[in-house]
Every structure is written in C-alpha cells, then in structure tokens.
Structure 1
Amino acid sequence: MNLSRKGLSISPSATLAIDSKAKKLKAEGIDVVGFGAGEPDFDTPVHIKQAAIAAIEAGFTKYTPASGTMTLKEAICAKFKKDNGLDYAPANIVISNGAKHSLVNVFQAICNPGDEVIIPAPFWVSYPEMVKLADGVPVIVYTTEEQGFKFTVDQIRQAVTAKTKAIILNSPSNPTGMVYTREELAELAELAVEKGFYVVSDEIYEKLIYDGKTHVSIASINEKIKAQTIIVNGVSKTYAMTGWRIGYTASTPEIAKIMSNVQSHATSNPNSIAQKAAEAAISGPQDMVATMVAAFASRRDYMVKRINSMPGLSCVNPNGAFYVMMNISQLMGKELAGLKIQSSDDFANVLLEKANVALVPGSGFGIDTHVRLSYATSQENITKGLDRIEQFLKQG
C-alpha cells in the first residue's frame, strides 16, 4: 500500500538525530560531550515548580479550554505590554504544547497548497518541514557569514512572488545567534506591508541577548505590520522549561480562531499543570533570567575565543540565543582520522566517533560549511569538549 507522499517527504530533525546518537553512546558507557540540543542546563526555578505542585494538589488536572486558560492568556498579554510595548487581548492569544507546536499551528492556519514561505538560511531545521506539512512551499534565501548571517531587504524583495504568503523571522536566531536591529526590522515591515505578506516572528530567544543589544519585536514597529505579524514565543528557553511544553502565539483574532480550531482537533488543550507553571514563570520573579544570561555570555566568550584560536576553525560572535556556528570550510577536502571531510555531516560523525564530541552538522540548517555548537551546557563540559576538538584536529 502507498504511504503518505507528504509524510515521506519530511526529513527527521538533525538536532534531535545527533542528540539521539550521542545519548546512545552515553548509554553504552562512553563519555560523550554534547554540544547538540538547545536546552538550558539550569533547573526550572523553584517558584515555578511550586506553582505546578500547588496546581496538582488543588486538583487542577482536568481539561482546560483548547487554546489555553484565561489567566495564562492574561499573563501573556501583560508580558507583551511590559516587555514589547504591544497591546493584545486574550482573543489574540493561543497557548500550545510548546513553541514548535505553535509554529505548526501557524502554518496550518495561513497556508493554502502552493503558498510560498520565505525562510532565510541558516534556519532552524524544522521550519521548512513545517511549511511542507501545511502544503506550503519553502523558499530559501541564503545569507553569508560576511553579512552577519542576516538577510537584506533587497534579497527578500527579489524572493517575493505572487504566491508569497509569509516570511519567517527568527531574532535572536537559532542557529546563528544574530539579532536584527529596529532599523532592519522597519525595512522588512515596510516591504511586508507593501507586498501584503505575513511575518511569522519566532521570538523564543528574546530574553537571551548579550553585549547591550536589545530585542525588538517587529510587531511594535507600527499597527500595520502588527496586523500582519504572528508572534511565536514560549517559556522553554527563558525559564529552563523545555520539558514543560508551553508555547504561545499572538496574532489577529481571525488567525487565532483558526489555530484554536486546528488545535482543538489535533491535541486539545496544553497541559493544565504546565499552564499554571507558565503563569508563575511569566508573572513571577525574573532574577533567574539575568543569572542565566550572565552565565551564557561568559560561556559564549570562552567558546568564541577558543574556536578562533584553533587552526582551520573560526566563528563569528553571536549576540543572542546560546549557539555558535563554527566555520569548518578550511577543513573541507582534508582527511581526518582516515575520512575525507566533504560535508558538515562527515565532520560531525567523525568527531562523535573518534573524539566523543557531539555537535550538529550545518546541513540541516541550510549551511554545509558550518556546524552548530550549543553553549547551554556547563563550563566544564565546554572546556572538555573544546579540548577534545583541538586535540583531534592536531592528530589529524
């Protein structure tokens, strides 16, 4: 029997694949240093966990409305007002099972078969697959390290066609860590309004910014672009709550209604207990966020300095998130541990097998000359892992 052609066209997540392989080696007793999955190594703050325990003890374990509780929606609206200067009402908000689920809902809500979604590369590995799942067509716009991994508005203008439905904006970016300025966002907003396409703004890393940079939501530029922007955010990265699976969107009531309807049939409501925990995270003390950011900044500085000191490797300094894109182009065509390096996958595999270091090949992000390292791990692991990479390269 024939299986789904759409399903067969979907590639597995490159980040989760390398993480799974590394965990398998660890289970076999091998000491693997993992730079793979983007997950803060901090524990969820105590007051958030206590809110979840209180929810359980109070019997808050039943279904909630499909698009989330009113109290969490109100907390999210207050967050948007305080952090981003944006006015939203609960009717604009849909709460889902993580920001990834939110993104799937977005494309299900806005895409018709053949609609094009512009995706700047390097991109998060799931974006193109999510678009394809919604019968959309990913249109990749490639950026370079020389341009700071940022697209220009001229590049986007050239990619726009009569079929363009949206562009994905991810700032701070996974995997590059780049951050768009207000001026750059204003140029994109002007083009989006002129051409009439949506901006899907993935702002999951908004609080993880360094070097005095600030996060600007493109929806805050003006009311016209706000009406064409769908913001995606969540609690996983900011509050070390990856396993709690709470994400949310802010959009027009019309789009929110469609996403709510889709979700009601796909998953029903997000976890009731995790919603109470998310409410505590968003509305409660924020001091732990500053502690995390300071630690990430210190680890980033160390990682960037070490990488740029190794022959054959280099990287640019990311301003946000917790990733470094390591340039391995000088190693292409060379032989390491008996294997000729012809791709980022080759480099990642040989490094895992011979040096017991797990990182993510850039091929999944649309840039095969680089690999991604996450510094959302302890300084001890970072030092040990970079020591192994340096020693491995010296051995050739």
Structure 2
Amino acid sequence: MKLANRLSRVKPSATLAVNAKALELKNRGVDVISLAVGEPDFPTPPHIAEAAKKAIDEHFTRYTAVAGIPEIRAGICGYYQKVHGVSAKNENVIIGNGGKQCLYNLLLCLLNEGDDVLIPVPYWTSYPDMAALVGANPVFVPSSAENGYRISLGALDASLTPKTKLLLLNSPSNPSGVSYSQKELDTIIRWAMEKDIFIIADEVYEQLVYDEKYQSSASKLWEQYPDKIAILNAFSKSFAMTGWRLGFALAHKELITEMTKLQGQITSSICSISQKAGVTALTSSYDCILPMREAFKRRRDFAYAEISSWKNILCPKPEGAFYLFPDVSELFCEKYKNAQELCSYLLDEAKVAVMPGDAFGLPNCIRISYAVSDETLKKALTSIKKSLYD
C-alpha cells in the first residue's frame, strides 16, 4: 500500500502515547497516577447537561446549519460582549467539532504551500503538525524558563522570513501556563499588524486565568483589525465539556464563509445536542466556572510551591491553564539522560505519568498537569520527589 506523502510530516500524538502506556499499566493492576493529559477533572455543570437531555427529549437530533444554529452563534457574540466588551455578529462566528477542527480549518483557509508560520516555543503539540499538513513550514520562536516562556519582539524579528504569513499565539499557554497581560498581548499584535502578519489567537484556556493582570484577549483588537485576526476558543476547558466536542472561531465574515464551505465538505454540521448544551452554557450565569477556577488556582499554588522547592529545577509560575512546565535539565544523569527517559523513569518508579517537553518543543522540560484532585496531586508530587531525590 502506498500512502500519501503528507503523512510523513506528522508525528503521533505524544500526549496520547504517554497516556496509553499509563493505561496499560493500570490495566495490569498497577496503581498509576496520570498527570499527562490536559482535561478538567470536573463534571460538566448540571444545567448544561440538562439542556442536552432536553434537546434529546424534544427530538432536536437532526442536521443543523454547518456554521452552527443561530442561538449558539448569537450566544458567542453575547459572550464576547459581556466578557470583553467586543461587538460581533453571527456572521463572524463558526462552531466546530472542538477547537482543534476550527484551528485546522483556519490554517487550511489562510495558508498556501510554502508559507511560514511563526510558532512560539513551547507550543501546543499539534501546532507544527497541523501547519505541516497544510503544506506550510513551522518556524519556531524561542523562549526559555528564565524569561517565563514569554516571547520577545526581538525573537519575533529574528524569526521573520520573507514567507511569513501567520503567527500562532496561545495565551494562556499549553504547556507552560504563561498568560500575557493585555499590554503585552497588544504589543505583539501591533507588531504583527505592522508586518502584515495574520494572527490566530488560541484562547481556549482564557477563563482559567488566576491573576487579574493576565486576564486578556486578542478580541479587544479584533474589532480594529477584523481581517487580520482570528480568535480560537472552545467549551472544553472553561465549562468542562471536553467530550462534547464543541469549539468556535471568531473572525471576519469572509473568512467564516470560507471555513463554512470547507467544513461543509468535511464534517457538515456539528452535533445538534452539543450545540443546545452550548447555548445554555453561554446564556446562563458563568458562576459555574468560579469553583473550578478556584480549585485550579489552589492546586497551582500548591504544586508551584512544592516543585519550586526541589533542587536543580527551574519552574516559572503559570498564570493560567492547569500545567506547570519545569526545566529539569539539571537532573539529567546516567539514570535518565533526557526528558523522555526521565518520564519513563517516573512512570516506572514513581508510578506517575508526566509529559516530556520534546512534544512541546523544549526537550529540557516536562509538563505536569494539575487537573486532578488535591489529594491525588499531593500524592503524585510526593512520589515524584521521592523517586528523584531519595
């Protein structure tokens, strides 16, 4: 069998591979704690789940418009007005099968073969592969733990090429948890506008920011540059709706039209029942987010304090999401020469699964998710510390 050449550009999902190994150990009866996968440990809020049940009872189970039912598109416009003071219309919104599909559709609509895409490091593991799949070239913009994983204008300038078309900006970040203040975000966006570079702002974790200073959004400049900025978001993290597969994009109406045309040929409409649940999430009080955010903040504070006390580890404090991304290179030795070997060691010895930084562009680091209960997190970190230092 001869497969398409494009498949050679794509690597298997590292996060799923680590989780698969952890699940294999669990199936063999080994007590393993996974801090590898980024998924809230909370159930979907009851009023949102009830809306889905009501949709089924009312037989709302047929195809819908490809871009989403009017109520959910209007709900997203209402969300941006309420949270960010941004005015948008239904024509500026499309619903996708998770934020991932919206992102891929954006890249398909915006990039041509050979275009360069600026991707800050560390990056969400799918960014480079998605860019490669559409025939574009990932160009990595460096950062480091020493500067809190923030990219500078100097690093952006140094990464610029004559073929640069797009900047993929993720705040709050997976895997680092870095969140830009509105001033920092605006500075980067205005740099991109001056260079005529399109920005996709991935804001999937925007409701999980723990310090007011860093509660920001590119949508505040989207109104000024509607043809040069697209906002990516989803229900998965903010409303604990990962399995509902419900994401969305906010963009210029012409771009939304093209994304709708593309989506119509790939998946057609999104699950009707999930959309009804999404309408309720958007049009009800957002107070259901608060206890989840408070729990994540508490876990962040505990995990950051714990890991920061460990010898030979540099761990910037995350402002959002639910990850820590410490540089562990000072721990490398004969027993584990790199992050991948260290993660394997921790899975075997500590019975804790964490992610090697290679998957996110920084092989000196590991990603630790604190989207688990306080008790589980404490148990896992205690076990990791014992395996590393005893």
TM class, shorter-chain normalised? over 0.9
Change (3 A) 1:94 1:222: closer
Alignment deviations for residues 143-181 of structure 1 (CA, whole Å, 9 cap, x no partner): 011111011112112222221111011111111111112
Query: What secondary structure does 1:327 align onto?
Result: coil
Q: Is the 8 A contact 1:95 1:102 kept in 2?
A: yes
Q: How far apart, in 2, do the equivalents of 1:167 and 1:150 lie?
A: 14
User: RMSD of the TM alignment (CA)?
Assistant: 1.3
Counterpart residue number, 2:256: 256
Counterpart residue number, 1:189: 189
Task: Say if 2:381 is the partner of 1:386.
Answer: yes
Q: How far apart, in 1, do the equivalents of 2:103 and 2:10 lie?
A: 16
**Code of the aligned partner of 2:329:** S
Q: Is the 8 A contact 1:171 1:203 kept in 2?
A: yes
Tell me by how many angstroms 1:226 deviates. 3.6
Tell me by how many angstroms 1:222 deviates. 6.3
Q: How far apart, in 2, do the equivalents of 1:222 and 1:110 lie?
A: 17
Task: Say if 2:158 is the partner of 1:158.
Answer: yes
Task: Say if 2:359 is the partner of 1:370.
Answer: no
Query: What secondary structure does 1:305 align onto?
Result: helix
- Structure 1's unaligned 5+ residue stretches are none
Q: How far apart, in 2, do the equivalents of 1:193 and 1:33 lie?
A: 44
**Code of the aligned partner of 2:306:** R
Alignment deviations for residues 293-321 of structure 1 (CA, whole Å, 9 cap, x no partner): 11111111111111122223331111100
TM-score, normalised to structure 2, is 0.97
Tell me by how many angstroms 1:220 deviates. 1.0
Q: Which aligned runs of 4 or more in structure 1 are off by greater than 4 angstroms?
A: none
Q: How far apart, in 2, do the equivalents of 1:186 and 1:302 lie?
A: 31
Q: How far apart, in 2, do the equivalents of 1:275 and 1:374 lie?
A: 28
- Structure 2's unaligned 5+ residue stretches are none
364-373 vs 77-86, greater mean Cα deviation: 77-86
Tell me by how many angstroms 1:329 deviates. 1.1
Q: Is the 8 A contact 2:208 2:293 kept in 1?
A: yes
Counterpart residue number, 2:353: 358
**Code of the aligned partner of 1:346:** E
Query: What secondary structure does 1:326 align onto?
Result: coil
Q: Is the 8 A contact 2:203 2:232 kept in 1?
A: yes
Counterpart residue number, 2:206: 206
Change (3 A) 1:132 1:195: same
Superposed, 1:136-175 pairs within 5 Å as: 136-175=136-175
Q: How far apart, in 2, do the equivalents of 1:347 and 1:94 lie?
A: 42
Change (3 A) 1:156 1:302: same
**Code of the aligned partner of 2:338:** S
Tell me by how many angstroms 1:8 deviates. 2.1
Q: How far apart, in 2, do the equivalents of 1:10 and 1:85 lie?
A: 39
Counterpart residue number, 1:218: 218
Query: What secondary structure does 2:185 align onto?
Result: helix
Of 323, 342, 349, the residue aligned with 2:344 is 349
Query: What secondary structure does 1:314 align onto?
Result: coil
**Code of the aligned partner of 2:300:** R
Superposed, 1:189-338 pairs within 5 Å as: 189-221=189-221, 223-332=223-332, 334-335=333-334
